[in-house]
Amino acid sequence: MPNPTAAILIIGDEILSGRTRDSNMHYLAGELTKNGITLAEARVVSDDADAIIGAVNALRAAYDNVFTSGGIGPTHDDITAEAVAAAFNTPIGIRQDAYDLLAAHYARSGREFNDARQRMARIPDGATLIDNPVSIAPGFTIGNVHVMAGVPSVFQAMVASVLPTLTGGAPMLSQSWRIDRGEGEIAGPLSTLATEFPDLSIGSYPFQENGAYGSNIVIRGTDAGQIDAAMSKLAHLFPA
């Protein structure tokens, strides 16, 4: 059975303007790979309701799991929760358990639990909360969509909360082999090798180092024996 699939939807003008470099996609990719879930697509859209709604609906129909990052804070440009509720055609309002968590948090810290902060308790009907041990304001899961914060430390904590609840597959294994020759010299035998091992993914990643060309070959799959066999053939074709 093929591994379950996932997509990530990153929401934020600051990524698309080049001001901020996203790190959540790369983090999630690594965590999913370890857990046998295939990250099949990533998208970045701006803080625009129609763009978010369109992407959420396209991705949740196409993949087993969708993770969103960003837009769930207290400010006017945080519109993800509303947009996800609209994508599911579901009402959204202040949720008592989220409100209580936040009220207790602000009472402890002596800061005002004002209207803006209360907005972070707005959760679509029928969602379950995602724990946020870093800054309390929860994420939520609705259907197969997991709505999480954009701040990397909070995103990572939420991924740790969600992953154990998901059905994983066989962990994706990989081995790599460095060849100090340009891709063009190795492409023929490599293509033959890929045909011999149809269940493995064999990728070639070229590099330049001190003016010379080389390629890193990465063999991925879920069957360690097949990967070993393909690696032996590769090492025989292109000795180190």
- Give contact residues for a second copy (rule: CB under 8 A): 13-22, 25-33, 38-47, 51, 73-77, 111-112, 114-117, 119-120, 135, 151, 153, 172, 174, 182-188, 190-191, 194, 201-208, 215, 218, 220
Nearest-approach distance from CB 119 to a second copy, in angstroms: 8
Which one, 32 or 86, has the nearer CB to a second copy? 32
- Residue 134 CB neighbours (<10 A): 14
Smallest gap from residue 101 Cβ to a second copy (A): 14
Angle at 103 (CA atoms; ends 101, 107), nearest 5 degrees: 120
Which residue, 30 or 126, is less far from a second copy as judged by CB?
30
Q: Are 120 and 31 in contact (CB under 8 A)?
A: no
Can you tell me whether residue 120 is helix, strand or coil? helix
**What count of other Cβ atoms lies within 10 Å of the Cβ of residue 106?**
16
CA distances 77 to 18, 57, 80, 98, Å, are 17, 21, 9, 20
Nearer to a second copy, 185 or 199 (CB): 185
Quick one: 218 or 231, whose CB is closer to a second copy? 218
- Dist CA 47 CA 51 (whole Å): 8
Quote the least distance from Cβ 151 to a second copy, whole Å. Answer: 6
Choice between 145 and 186, CB closer to a second copy: 186
Question: Helix or strand or coil: residue 177?
Answer: strand
Please say which residue, 26 or 125, places its beta carbon nearer to a second copy.
26
202 SS3 class: strand
Q: How far apart are CA 64 and CA 41, in angstroms?
A: 12
Residues written for the chain? 240
Contact between 80 and 43 (Cβ < 8 Å): no
Nearer to a second copy (CB atom), residue 14 or residue 90:
14
Q: Tell me the backbone φ, ψ of residue 40, rounded to 5 degrees.
A: -100, -20
